[in-house]
Amino acid sequence: MTFRAPVRDLAFALKTVGHPDLLARHYPDLDGDTVQAVLEAAAAFADNELAPLNRQGDLVGARYENGTVTAAPGFADAYRRFVEQGWNSLSADPEHGGQGLSKAMELAVFEMVHAANMAFGLCPMLTQGAIEALTLHGTERQKALVLPKLVSGEWTGAMCLTEPQAGSDLAALTSVARPDGKGGYRLSGQKIFITWGDHDAADNICHLIIARTPDAPPGIKGISLFLANKFQVKDDGALGPRNSFRPASIEHKLGIHGSPTCVMLYEDAEAELVGELGQGLAHMFVMMNAARLQVGVQGVAIAERAFQQALAFSQERRQGRTALPGDGAIYGHPDVRRTLMLMKARIEAARGICLTTGVLSDVARLADDPAERAAAKARQELLTPIAKAWSTDVGVDVASAGVQIHGGMGFIEETGAAQHYRDARIAPIYEGTNGIQALDLIGRKVRANGGETMKALCADMAATADRLSAAAGLEGVGARLGAGVAALDRATGWLLDADNIAAQAAATPYLKLAGDVTGGWILGLQALAASGSEDQPWLAAKGALARLWASQVLTQAPGLADGLADGALDLESTQPTALAG
């Protein structure tokens, strides 16, 4: 099935996520025509270069043989063209060879990349995180010799956290970095699930690894961050001998077969400290948070890919008598059309949340007013776990609905609908499971400051609900968004007073509630921006999607809020034997 990057939707979303005046001041060359040109050029690359490789990547995948990893067919050549055209360096600092564009623009481009070929997109995605980590915490040598190569894409980055006994519990890691007496370290240990940890698509691979030094205290305070390059980087920037780490195997996975997920063995490998000793987890969180937002974008992207295929199939497949007028295609069945419209609404809501988070990161860096920067940073941090978790759940839900639209044909691999579902399923798991994102939301982002950041967001959403209530044709959206915001505000108050067990039991439904309401806010903003455009069906559909969301999703918000308090009632008393049957 042919993929077409959603340039029109992305351009419209970028216009409606806020702060156009501030971004225009700091990116004076990034006017509407330039944004359109960048998106169209990226779309051409995604449509013509990456999308045709997606199916082959799934069927053949990356290969491991004789201790080396070979990228899926066509991936290495496509990656070289990707970096030659400058797509790897969009938001990086010009000081290091980047183009200095906004984070929101980078996310928009990467959505198209991930939608065209999610397995491919993981490689440059992780490089972006390595760029951000070294920009903030790298040594002068690392910034001079390694960072420009990562920005250009000549070298790629890998994030190396997980060990067989230490998944999400990074305090349990055992990899050790011993001082070599020359200012460097010798690193030994095993890491698993290392995405694009080895491949043949770039000249060098820069591993950012968390490990302990021999005298480090136990727990997370003993973790430091290190850089180990596949090939030694000499003082003049030239590559030297191969470092002493290697892939032991690649994993056989449910999906994203084109992305090599490596088991890596470090055998007294040369490594350099990044940042300060004992601050490794804090430093690595720069890379992790960048990856979490990008993974949220992956959820949007795979949903878009699955939706496009389902929509096309619904216009080709003829089955039964349709209730709505048309040519007999299943798009004429009301439930099929409702499903497709709800899929589209989920995509646009999740896209808006992710792009809003990207815009806030720009504002947090660029605003002249310190108070504005601080407020933007707080809201960015609040939305990041929602963007990651809620958007990746959207990816799975929409991909599953896409299989359902295909019926039995969706369960057959040849149609490709099943690949989207298989690819989507990893996104709620990696870069911190969605349950961990929910705990982060309620703990560090809501309860830590007495709910002030969430209350400020609720106030802004309530103001939008008032605007919708005064807009012709959107009154019902305003009323239901207002009720949803009130439910979220009420749930936040309960959360602040709850004990830890009750709060943790409610974390995932609270995140869903926050995502559903924030998604309704995004769709309401889009409907307002498109109001008065009934003569343009594409724009008029924005109001239809907001109304559908209000009736199908926002109506559930009060019930979600009411149910939070009951979530922990039976958790302590219910033992595994009672569940085993």
pLDDT tens across 94-147, in order?
999 999 999 999 999 999 999 999 999 999 999 999 999 999 999 999 999 999
Please tell me whether residues 464 and 511 are part of one structural domain.
yes
Contact 352, 549 (CB under 8 A): no
Q: Coil, strand or helix: which one is 1?
A: coil
The sign of the torsion formed by the CA atoms of 183, 188, 194, 196 equals positive
Verify that 96 and 133 share a domain, yes or no: yes
- Per-residue pLDDT at 439: 97
Q: Is the domain of 439 the same as that of 554?
A: yes
Based on the domain organization, do 452 and 521 belong to the same domain? yes
Task: List the CATH number of the domain containing 268.
Answer: 2.40.110.20
Residue 534 has pLDDT above 90, yes or no: no
Q: Is residue 392 part of a domain?
A: no
Q: Which domain holds residue 105?
A: 7-140
Nearest CA to 286 out of 245, 232, 225 is that of 225
Cβ–Cβ contacts within 10 Å for residue 575, how many? 8
450-459: pLDDT as tens digits: 999 999 999 9
Tokens (6 digits) for 60: 């053949």
Instruction: Tell me whether residue 60 is in a domain.
Output: yes
- Rounded to an integer, the average pLDDT of 21-47 is 88
Q: Residue 21 has what pLDDT?
A: 73
Q: What does each C-alpha distance from 161 to 36, 168, 242, 344 come to in angstroms?
A: 38, 9, 22, 35
The stretch 76-87 carries a mean pLDDT of 98
Mark whether 168 and 94 lie in a shared domain: no
Residue 353 domain-assigned? no
Tokens 């109304």, residue?
547
Count of domains observed in the chain = 3
Residue 535 lies in a domain: yes
Kindly name the residue from 431, 452, 534, 572 that is annotated as catalytic.
431
Q: What is the pLDDT of residues 375-400, one digit of tens each?
A: 999 999 999 999 999 999 999 999 99
Residues 446 and 481 in one domain: yes
Taking 90 as the threshold, does the pLDDT of residue 289 lie above it? no
Helix or strand (DSSP H, E) at 212: strand 204-212
Q: Say whether pLDDT at 572 is over 80.
A: no
The CATH number covering residue 45 comes to 1.10.540.10
> What is the C-alpha to C-alpha distance for residues 560 and 566, in angstroms, rounded to an integer?
11
92 and 192 fall within a common domain: no
Query: What pLDDT sits at residue 17?
Result: 85
On the question of pLDDT at 53 being above 70, the answer is: yes
Flag the least confident range among 326-335, 532-541, 553-562: 532-541
| Each residue's pLDDT tens digit, 439-478 | 999 999 999 999 999 999 999 999 999 999 999 999 999 9
Which ranges of 263-327 does DSSP label H, i.e. alpha helix? 280-316
Q: Which residue, chain included where needed, has tokens 């004990």?
A: 499
Please indicate, yes or no, whether residues 175 and 233 belong to a single structural domain of this protein. Answer: yes
Nearest 5°: CA angle at 266, between 151 and 432?
A: 60
59 belongs to a structural domain: yes
Q: What is the pLDDT of residue 232?
A: 96
Strands (E), 32-106: 63-65, 68-70
pLDDT recorded at residue 353: 98
The model's pLDDT over 223-270, given as tens digits with 9 standing for 90+, comes to 999 999 999 999 999 999 999 999 999 999 999 999 999 999 999 999
**Count of all residues that appear for the chain in the document:** 581
Active site residue 49: no
Residue 308 lies in a domain: no
Residue 537 lies in a domain: yes
- The stretch 272-296 carries a mean pLDDT of 93
- Percent helix, strand and coil across the chain, each to the nearest 5: 60, 15, 25
Q: 82, 105, 140 — which closes off a domain?
A: 140
**Which of 230, 245, 277 is at the close of a domain?**
277
Q: How far apart are CA 443 and CA 254, in angstroms?
A: 32
**Residue 242 · residue 231 · CB < 8 Å:** yes
Contact 419, 371 (CB under 8 A): no
- Model confidence at 1, pLDDT cuts 50, 70, 90, reads low
CA proximity to 547, closest of 533, 528, 563:
528
CA–CA separation, 344 and 110 (whole Å): 19
Same domain, 113 and 173: no
Co-location of 96 and 204 in the same domain: no
The predicted-structure confidence for 344-363, as pLDDT tens digits, reads as follows 999 999 999 999 999 999 99
Mean of all residue pLDDT scores within the chain: 95
Residue 329: strand pairing partners: 318
Domain finish residue from 277, 308, 337: 277
Token pair, residue 351, equals: 């896209």
78 and 163, same domain (yes or no): no
Whether the Cβ atoms of residue 108 and residue 5 lie closer than 8 Å to each other: no
Cβ burial of 538 (10 Å; 0-12, 13-18, 19+) is exposed
Residue 561 and residue 441 share a domain:
yes
Asked whether residue 23 is domain-assigned, the answer is yes
- Region of poorest pLDDT, from 270-284, 404-418, 524-538: 524-538
Please, which pLDDT band fits residue 568 given cuts at 50, 70 and 90?
confident
